[in-house]
C-alpha cells in the first residue's frame, strides 16, 4: 500500500511539474509560424555525435552568435529571435553601412531536436565539450554565446572553462542558481524517481500545456512549429532518456552563484518580469555579481521566453550589445 501511495504521489508531482491548467489554443496567425523544417540548417559531427543547427544571417558575418537553447527545447526556439536580429541589423545598416553584421547559429543540443541522442553523461562539463567541438567545426576562434534558461547556465559554464573563446554573453532568463527555481520545481529536481516519472509522462498534450501556460506569458507566442520540433525529439525512447539525464545532471547541477564574479567577459542580461519558470527576482544575483554587466533588459508582462515573446525589443538590445563589442555605438536596453 505504501509503495502504491508513493507511486501516486510521484506521478502527481511529476504531472504538476510538466503541466498546468488547460489554456486557450494557439492564437498566432498561420503565416507567422516559424517553420523549422524549411529553415536553413547544417549538420556537424562532434565527438562522433551528429549535431543539427539552424543558420540565420550572412555566412561571412562580422560576429557569430552561438545560440544555446533551454531544457526540453531545441535550436528552433532561436528562429523568431534570429529573424528579429536580422531585421534590426538591416535597420542599422541602412543608416550606417559600417554597422557589424551578425550570424546566429542555433544547434539542437545532443538529446534534443534533430541531433543525435546518445547514451552520455549530459553533465554541464560534457555539454561544454560538445559546444567547444561545435565551435571548432564552425571555424571560429571567438564567438558570442546567447544562452536561454538551461542554455544560459551552459553558456556560463563554457565561459568559465574557455574564456579565450568567448567575446561576450547574452543571458536570456538564465538558469544556474538554485534560488531561481520555484519551490515545487526545486523539490522535484532533487528526486531521481520523480524525474524518471516526469519524463515518462511527457506527451505532446502535456508539453503544449506547459509551453502555453508557464513558458510564455501570452499563449499567442506558443508557436506550434517550434514546439513540434522539440516534441518530436523528446517523444522517442532515446529522447526521454536524454531528457531525464539532462534534468538530473545539468538542470540540477551545483549552483553557480559563487562563480559569477569569475565571468570577466561583457554580458547582456534579459529577463521577463512575469517568468513562471525561473524567478525574475533571482536576476539581482546576476546584476550584483557579474563584473562586466553591460546592460539589463527587464521586460514587463513577459514570461520565460523574452527572445520570442518580445523579440523586437530583445533583438534591439542584443544588437546594440553586439555592436558595442566592436566599438560601434553602445548597449542601451
pLDDT at 5: 34
Is the Cα torsion angle 224, 230, 232, 235 positive or negative in sign?
negative
> How many whole angstroms separate alpha carbon 65 and alpha carbon 286?
21
* Neighbouring residues of 223: CB distance < 8 A, sequence distance ≥ 6: 26, 28, 32, 33, 34, 80, 308
Asked if the structure places residue 190 within a domain, the reply is yes
Predicted TM-score (pTM) of the model is 0.89
pLDDT at 10: 38
Identify the burial level of 62 via C-beta atoms within 10 angstroms of its C-beta, where 0-12 means exposed, 13-18 middle and 19 or more buried.
middle
pLDDT at 121: 97
Spell out the per-residue pLDDT of the chain, length 333, in tens. Answer: 444 333 333 333 343 344 333 333 344 444 556 789 999 999 999 999 999 999 999 999 999 999 999 999 999 999 999 999 999 999 999 999 999 999 999 999 999 999 999 999 999 999 999 999 999 999 999 999 999 999 999 999 999 999 999 999 999 999 999 999 887 666 556 555 555 656 666 778 888 888 898 999 998 888 888 989 999 999 999 999 999 999 988 988 899 999 999 999 999 999 999 999 999 999 999 999 999 999 999 999 999 999 999 999 999 999 999 999 999 975 455
pLDDT at 1: 40
pLDDT at 33: 63
Q: How many domains does the chain have?
A: 1
- Residue keyed to cell 544562452: 147
Asked if the structure places residue 202 within a domain, the reply is yes
Asked if the structure places residue 73 within a domain, the reply is yes
> How many whole angstroms separate alpha carbon 36 and alpha carbon 52?
11
Asked if the structure places residue 240 within a domain, the reply is yes
Asked if the structure places residue 25 within a domain, the reply is no
| Other CB atoms within 10 Å distance of the CB of residue 157 | 22
CATH code for the domain in which residue 196 is found: 3.40.50.1820
pLDDT at 224: 85
pLDDT at 210: 87
Asked if the structure places residue 333 within a domain, the reply is no
Query: Which cell numbers hold the place of 124?
Result: 554541464
Residues spanned by the domain of 100:
2-18+32-325
Asked if the structure places residue 27 within a domain, the reply is no
Asked if the structure places residue 150 within a domain, the reply is yes
Query: Which cell numbers hold the place of 275?
Result: 517568468
pLDDT at 22: 35
Amino acid at each position: 500500500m505504501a509503495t502504491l501511495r508513493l507511486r501516486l504521489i510521484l506521478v502527481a508531482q511529476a504531472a504538476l511539474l510538466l503541466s498546468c491548467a488547460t489554456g486557450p489554443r494557439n492564437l498566432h496567425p498561420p503565416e507567422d509560424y516559424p517553420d523549422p523544417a524549411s529553415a536553413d540548417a547544417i549538420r556537424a559531427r562532434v565527438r562522433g555525435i551528429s549535431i543539427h543547427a539552424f543558420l540565420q544571417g550572412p555566412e561571412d558575418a562580422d560576429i557569430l552568435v552561438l545560440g544555446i537553447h533551454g531544457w526540453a527545447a531545441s535550436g528552433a526556439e532561436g528562429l523568431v529571435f534570429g529573424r528579429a536580429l536580422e531585421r534590426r541589423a538591416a535597420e542599422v545598416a541602412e543608416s550606417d553601412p559600417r554597422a557589424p553584421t551578425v550570424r546566429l547559429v542555433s544547434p539542437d543540443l545532443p538529446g534534443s531536436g534533430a541531433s543525435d541522442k546518445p547514451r552520455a553523461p549530459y553533465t554541464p562539463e560534457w555539454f561544454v565539450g560538445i559546444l567547444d567541438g561545435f565551435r571548432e567545426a564552425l571555424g571560429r576562434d571567438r564567438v558570442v554565446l546567447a544562452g536561454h534558461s538551461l542554455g544560459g547556465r551552459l553558456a556560463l559554464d563554457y565561459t568559465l572553462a574557455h574564456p579565450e573563446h568567448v567575446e561576450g554573453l547574452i543571458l536570456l532568463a538564465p538558469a544556474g542558481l538554485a534560488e531561481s527555481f520555484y519551490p515545487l520545481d526545486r523539490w522535484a529536481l532533487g528526486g531521481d524517481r520523480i524525474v524518471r516519472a516526469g519524463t515518462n509522462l511527457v506527451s505532446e498534450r502535456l508539453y503544449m500545456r506547459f509551453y502555453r501556460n508557464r513558458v510564455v506569458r501570452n499563449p499567442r507566442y506558443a508557436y506550434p512549429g517550434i514546439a513540434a520540433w522539440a516534441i518530436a525529439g523528446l517523444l522517442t525512447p532515446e529522447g526521454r532518456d536524454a531528457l531525464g539525464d539532462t534534468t538530473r545532471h545539468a538542470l540540477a547541477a551545483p549552483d553557480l552563484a559563487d562563480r559569477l564574479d569569475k565571468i570577466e567577459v561583457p554580458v547582456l542580461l534579459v529577463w521577463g518580469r512575469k517568468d513562471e519558470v525561473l524567478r525574475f527576482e533571482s536576476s539581482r544575483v546576476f546584476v550584483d555579481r557579474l563584473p562586466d554587466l553591460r546592460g539589463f533588459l527587464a521586460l514587463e508582462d513577459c514570461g520565460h521566453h523574452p527572445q520570442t515573446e518580445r523579440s523586437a525589443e530583445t533583438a534591439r538590445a542584443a544588437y546594440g550589445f553586439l555592436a558595442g563589442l566592436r566599438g560601434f555605438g553602445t548597449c542601451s536596453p
